[in-house]
Chain A
Amino acid sequence: MDAPLLAIENLRTYFYSRAKRAFIRSVDGVSLGVTRGETLGIVGESGSGKSVTALSAAGLVTAGPGVISGRIHLNSNGASRNLLDGLEKYARVTEQDGRVVAVEKDERGWRRRSETLMAGVRGKEIAMIFQNPRSALNPYSTIGKQLVETIRLHTNLKRESEARERAIHWLDRVRIDSPRLRFDNFPFGMSGGMCQRAMIAMALSAEPSLLIADEPTTGLDATIQSRIVDLLAELKAETGITTLLISHDISVIQRLSDRIAVMYGGTVVETGRAAEVLAPEAKVRHPYTAALLASIPSAETIRRKSYLQAIEGEVLDTIEVPRGCRFYGRCNRVTEAIRENCAGLEPPLGEVAPGHKVRCWLYPSPGKA
């Protein structure tokens, strides 16, 4: 297997909470790889650090201190580059017992450096779509103009008329009716689903190597959500584009992903092939993944209109990170044998089967005690 298209290594992205005078450890040592052609789904409750991971990869984190450590390798067009190259020169991180206690970062210097590194990458190699497509499109410009801008920036179609034809072609490919008419529409005159289609067309029109879709169905009506999922599946089959898909909705992730990473409290707690991680009869499963799966309403519960089973307890705020397992406070599978470990020692992300890793003391990886 060749090098993954995108490899994130030990990424840490922190923010500073002035009110609490402490770091928000939004992304706290995340490693992920997206192989060429696959769809990697990141799932987790809202606040688990999925978006910040994606924004870090795209160099779009604006608040401070932001990305403080890690490497993000992008291997495309035969070249490999680290999108965080030289970061250590701008951020000095002081650790104590493996925890970050102080960060001194030249944020302005880093932003300038990051802009240089991201030039030619953002929009071109890595394209993004977001939630709430109606506010993600520029309300002061027609969708046609916004597509043409992307095409002229990132493809060799520089002439307005050529770019226009290509834009209409893309609007057609995302199944927008009468694309020639829609070309001159402003976003405010279009439905949320239509806007998301336009966003997808705009992202793909740059012919990127990687598509990051951050909650592409969130904020849309239920029926529209499933149409957007269908569209993403169809486009995936047609173009084979490598995708990093993010959603709090495990059913969306289930439908579109080849591999899955489950995030909780700024860390990856389980990762592996989708079939394996989500298999109904799986013997090895992180308690958090199990809870997420249990929250999917079954056909039975939908018929009886009973309430969704929410996971008990609050999402970790990542300001006061516990010493032990981050899920300890909400976990219902702690046994007496491992309680001491769960409470006092963060479990490693151990490989339980080839390509399947779980961060839980219940599953000591083979070879280790």
Chain B
Amino acid sequence: MKLAAIRPVSRALARELAVTALLLLGVSVVVFAILYLAPGDPLNVLLEGQSPRSQLALGMREALGVPQTWYGQYAAWFGKMLQGNFGNSIRTGLPVLPELARVGVYTLTLTLGSLALTLLIAVPIAVHAAAHGGTAGNTAATLAAYVLSAVPVFWFGYIVVYVFIHQFGMFPLISGTAAKQEHAWLYFLVPIFVLGIASGTLSEMIRHLREELSRVLAEDYIRTARAKGAPVWRHAFKEGFLIPVTEIMSAKIPFLLGGAVIVEQVFNWPGMGRMAWQAAQDRDFPVIMGIALVAAAFVRLGNLLQRVVFTAVNPRASRE
């Protein structure tokens, strides 16, 4: 990359990081407010249903050092968070951050793996359709992808589980971690496969990539490239491939995270989605806050990547 192009990119990066910081702050306030206003008190879990308004509960609050006002509670949480301390889980008593890191890796594997799989399927279909128009082969493939994308992911997941039990007589008790089981690799790959195929991302990815690439291939400058005997792909790559791919990736990460929550439930995948589910049941506030922030950061990361790539390849964006 030319030196001249580095400055706009670093400027875009700085701007995106600032936006991310503000956004995370907003997310933490909103989630905190929702938790505060929602019915259910975490103390109930600790007290296992014993009367929460009793002396016992108050004593417990004091013992735990929980401030009385909501802003007091938020300020306390925020102060600790800035020091990298997200508090301890109310349920397990374990510190939230290392726990998040532990399960976050699983969710990251699941979402990024399925994203890679979606790309692996969508790119060849989209490129073929854009380059050759609708042939019987790529039309059939596109249709199949559209049908699969329309299937709800939980339903597809249960079908897969069903097939495993009845056809192969095996059941993925705990996928992901089950390194010692037989066919561990299968339990590992099947959830990735399910999320990649049925998260609803596939069809939109094919459509976006095909439309963008077709549009670019019809541009005047591609005709010039052909007229001068240069490889078309070299000229179509940036606008027709790189930009749309990063666009659709960053746009689809939130949906993949949503899908991951379901897939993790169906397949017992020990990731953040399952932890979030459990934490919501338990009103485990510190865990919920932590997960909300990590998920939001992940989504922003996709945006950031897209902006950086766009600024790096687009000379116009660089000069703005």
Q: Chain A residues in contact with chain B, CB under 8 A? A: 58, 60, 108, 118-124, 127-128, 130, 132, 135-141, 149-150, 153-154, 184, 186, 188-189, 199, 202-203, 206
Contacts and interface: CB of A to CB of B under 8 A. Distances in A.
Contact of B224 (A119, A138, A186): A138
Main SS at interface, chain B:
helix
A140 B227 contact: no
Interface residues of B, number: 23
A60 B227 contact: yes
A154 B226 CA distance: 14
Contacts of B221: 135-139
Given A108-B132, A135-B219, A135-B220, A140 B314 contact: yes
A129 B132 CA distance: 26
A140 B230 CA distance: 15
A122 B229 contact: yes
List 8 A-B pairs, minimum CB-CB distance, nearest first. A123-B229, A123-B228, A186-B315, A135-B220, A128-B227, A138-B221, A122-B229, A140-B238
B229 A153 contact: yes
B220 A132 contact: yes
18 contacts: A120-B229, A122-B227, A122-B229, A123-B227, A132-B220, A135-B219, A136-B221, A136-B224, A138-B224, A138-B235, A140-B238, A140-B314, A141-B235, A149-B228, A149-B234, A153-B229, A186-B316, A199-B224
Interface in B208-225: 219-221, 223-225
A154 B223 contact: no
A128 B227 CA distance: 6
Interface in B226-253: 226-230, 234-235, 238-239
B100 interface: no
Nearest to B132: A108
Contacts of B292: none
A206 B225 contact: no
A202 B315 contact: no
A124 B229 contact: yes
A182 to B, nearest CB: 14
B108 interface: no
Given A186-B315, A188-B316, A138 B227 contact: no
A148 B223 CA distance: 18
Interface centre among B226, B234, B316 (most CB of A within 10 A): B226
Nearest to A115: B226
Contacts of B220: 130, 132, 135-136
Contacts of B228: 122-123, 127-128, 149-150, 153, 202-203, 206
A188 B225 CA distance: 17
B230 A137 contact: no
